[in-house]
Each structure stands twice: as structure tokens, then as C-alpha cells.
């Protein structure tokens, strides 16, 4: 059901208040060809109503001839900011950037954040934004999970479907995504609600089984049959199964980059208001699938880059895969059991 402008403006104000927007601060709203017009219009009203100095920076799309999909996460190459020092300077001079375009996994984003500018990504449909407005409770829960990851040396994930994999930890920082930016130089994504890290280079070994009903992103589809990934020294060396496996392998092969098959981020969903089933209610081009990434108790892993955490891998291919019904343990202690987040995480 559509969301009224009144509702969406109210949602923006809640997120901006959590992000500690102050009167007189400079906000730049970054937009592109795929920016939702209602999201933009309501962001403009909310930021001005809160007393900010508001700019809009609209940039043309890139990579259209290379991407396999219109999804903004389907190709992580250059961005409209690449080689655009004037635009970068404008964003670095802002206190807060509202990214309605998608700058993920880009060196330009890291450069902007290093100046102390905060960046909040918001590209889901307005009704998803309104339903998943973040809270302080979301922050507390995600930070508690992140603290546990930060102390661990190993994450192990098993499932009745056949997943059994170990990830060595400690080389890369832990990232908390709770939906707002309350510190200088912070990036986050509204909506979200999960904790993640990246395994040590070469430190992932085992088998991952993507079972029926698990989700492939950016394909934005539920698997109809099992896909078995063999992971050796940090890379998926085999992708076995039926047509779903063949489709995944062919998609990844199209990037012609062996780094596409590296294990990227790992973690679990902590957002009880996100639903596994929601993806099936949307047209594929209407959403990037944040419900799927954040629903409570999933084990979310990805394939592709690790430069978001300071690594050197910058492949343009990025696959997010949330699995259901997994048990996740840190140094032998369960934090998620058969898809249920344990109470100690709350």
C-alpha cells in the first residue's frame, strides 16, 4: 500500500533526528536516474523543516553498458563521482550526505567519509522505508552482536541442509548497520539491521549449501533447488547443483574476474521487522531486497569485494546470499541457533 508524503516526511525526521542533524548543518542529497521521486521530495522537505542548509547533487548514471541488471548493486565499478573532483568536494564540505543514488564499495565514498562527512544510503521504496524506520533499540542490538564478533577468532556456520564452514576472523573490522548515522564519518543504510565482518584473507574453508527458499541477490529470487558451494582458502571453487547453480555460475563468470568468487562479508540478520517473505511481493526492479538481507536470524554471506572493510579486493561482482535455518557460532558459542537469534544477543 502506498505511503503518504506526511508519513514519509515523519519517517525522514525520525531518522534525521537519530542521525543528530542540527539546525544550520549542511545536507547534500545525492540523486541519480533511479532515485524515487517521493523519497527525494520528502527528504527535501524534512531536512529544510529541521533547519538544515540543503543542496541537491544530481549525477548521470554510469556502467549501464556493462551491468547485467538495473539493480544498483549488480555492478560495482566506477561511480558518477569517479574523476569528478568538484562533486566530491561538495560532498566532503557537507555535514551529512543522503545517498539516494548508491555509492557502495567505492573509493570515493571512503574519501568522503574520511573527511568526517556522514553518509546515509536510502534507496528502498518509500513503503519499505516507512515500515523499517530504525530505532535506538536496533542500534543497541546490532552493537551488542558486533561486540561479540569483534572478540572472536572464528565463526562457524552449520545447517541441516549441509552447510559446514569455518571463517577465521580478526584481520578486518566489524561493521554495524542499524539504519542511521550518529557519528562523524559514519556510513549506514536505511533500512538495515545486521552485524557483519569479513573473514581473514584465505581463511574460509568448508561447504555452503544454499537450500530451497534461500535468496540470491541481486537476482532477487528464491532458490528452487539446492546449490552447493565448495569453499577453499577463501574462494568458492565449485558451484554445484541444477539450473539455479548453473544460472549463478554463469552470472558470475560474466564478470571475467576470479576475485568474484572470493568470500566477502559474513554476519547475521537482527531486524525482527524485516521478513523473509517480503521479496516475493515486489517487482524485481522495485527493490534491492533489504528485507532479505536483514531479516532476523538469517546467516548473510556474500561473494566479491572486501574494500568496504579496508581490503584490496575491488571486483565489480557482488552477490549477497541470506540463508535460513543456520546455526552460527563464535569460538564455539552459538549466537544463532537454527535461524533463531539467541536471547543473549538482545
pLDDT per residue over 102-135, tens digit each? Answer: 987 788 998 999 999 999 999 999 999 999 999 9
pLDDT value for 296:
98
What are the chain's domains? 5-131 (3.40.1830.10), 136-345 (no CATH)
Q: Tens of pLDDT along 72-90?
A: 776 666 788 999 999 999 9
Q: Which of 124-133, 211-220, 295-304, 336-345 has the lowest mean pLDDT?
A: 336-345
Give the pLDDT confidence of 270-324 residue by residue, as tens digits: 999 999 999 999 988 889 999 999 999 999 999 999 888 888 888 889 999 999 9
The CA radius of gyration of the chain, in Å to the nearest whole number, is: 19
> Any residues with CB less than 8 A from the CB of 64 and at least 6 apart, and which?
none
Give the mean pLDDT of 209-228.
Answer: 97
Q: How far apart are CA 35 and CA 15, in angstroms?
A: 18
Please state the length of the chain.
Answer: 346
In the numeric block, which cell numbers belong to residue 126?
518509500
How high is the mean pLDDT of the chain? 94
> Considering only CA atoms, which of 70, 29, 330 is closest in space to residue 220?
70
Question: Each residue of 172-187: b (16+ CB within 10 Å) or e?
Answer: bebbbbbbbbeeeebb
Contact assessment for residue 96 and residue 20, using Cβ atoms and an 8 Å cutoff: no
pLDDT at position 127 is 96
135: preceding bond cis by omega (within 30 degrees): no
- Given a cut of 80, whether residue 10 has pLDDT beyond it is yes
Confidence category of residue 178, pLDDT binned at 50, 70, 90 = very high
Conformational region of residue 286, where left means phi above 0, alpha means psi within -120 to 50, and beta covers everything else: alpha
pLDDT above 50: residue 346: no
pLDDT for position 156: 98
Among 107-111, 140-144, 334-338, which stretch is predicted with the lowest mean pLDDT?
Answer: 107-111
Please give the share of the chain, as a percent, with pLDDT higher than 90.
86
Amino acid at each position: 500500500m502506498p505511503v503518504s508524503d506526511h508519513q514519509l516526511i515523519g519517517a525522514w525526521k525520525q531518522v534525521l533526528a537519530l542521525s543528530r542533524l542540527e539546525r544550520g548543518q549542511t545536507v547534500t542529497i545525492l540523486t541519480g536516474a533511479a532515485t524515487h521521486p517521493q523519497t527525494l521530495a520528502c527528504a527535501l522537505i524534512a531536512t529544510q523543516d529541521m533547519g538544515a542548509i540543503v543542496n541537491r547533487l544530481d549525477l548521470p548514471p554510469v556502467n549501464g553498458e556493462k551491468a547485467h541488471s538495473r539493480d544498483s548493486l549488480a555492478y560495482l565499478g566506477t561511480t558518477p563521482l569517479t574523476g569528478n573532483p568538484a562533486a566530491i568536494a561538495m560532498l566532503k564540505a557537507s555535514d551529512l550526505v543522503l545517498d539516494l543514488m548508491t555509492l557502495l564499495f567505492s573509493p570515493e565514498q571512503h574519501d568522503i567519509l574520511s573527511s568526517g562527512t556522514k553518509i546515509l544510503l536510502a534507496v528502498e521504496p518509500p513503503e519499505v522505508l516507512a515500515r523499517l524506520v530504525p530505532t535506538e533499540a536496533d542500534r543497541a542490538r546490532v552493537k551488542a552482536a558486533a561486540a561479540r564478533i569483534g572478540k572472536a577468532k572464528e565463526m562457524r556456520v552449520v545447517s541441516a541442509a549441509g552447510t559446514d564452514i569455518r571463517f577465521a576472523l580478526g584481520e578486518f573490522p566489524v561493521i554495524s548497520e542499524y539504519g542511521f548515522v550518529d557519528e562523524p564519518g559514519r556510513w549506514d543504510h536505511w533500512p538495515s539491521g545486521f552485524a557483519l565482518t569479513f573473514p581473514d584473507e584465505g581463511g574460509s574453508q568448508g561447504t555452503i549449501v544454499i537450500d530451497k527458499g534461500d535468496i540470491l541477490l541481486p537476482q532477487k529470487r528464491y532458490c528452487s533447488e539446492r546449490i552447493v558451494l565448495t569453499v577453499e582458502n577463501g574462494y568458492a571453487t565449485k558451484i554445484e547443483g541444477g539450473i539455479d547453480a548453473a544460472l549463478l555460475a554463469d552470472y558470475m563468470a560474466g564478470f571475467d574476474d576470479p576475485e568474484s568468487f572470493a568470500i566477502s562479508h559474513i554476519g547475521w540478520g537482527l531486524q525482527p521487522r524485516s521478513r523473509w517473505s517480503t521479496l516475493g511481493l515486489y517487482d524485481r526492479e522495485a527493490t534491492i531486497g533489504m528485507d532479505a538481507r536483514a531479516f532476523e536470524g538469517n546467516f548473510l554471506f556474500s561473494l566479491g569485494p572486501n574494500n568496504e572493510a579496508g581490503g584490496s579486493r575491488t571486483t565489480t561482482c557482488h552477490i549477497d546470499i541470506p540463508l535460513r535455518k543456520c546455526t552460527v557460532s563464535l569460538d564455539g558459542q552459538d549466537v544463532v541457533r537454527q535461524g533463531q537469534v539467541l536471547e543473549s544477543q538482545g
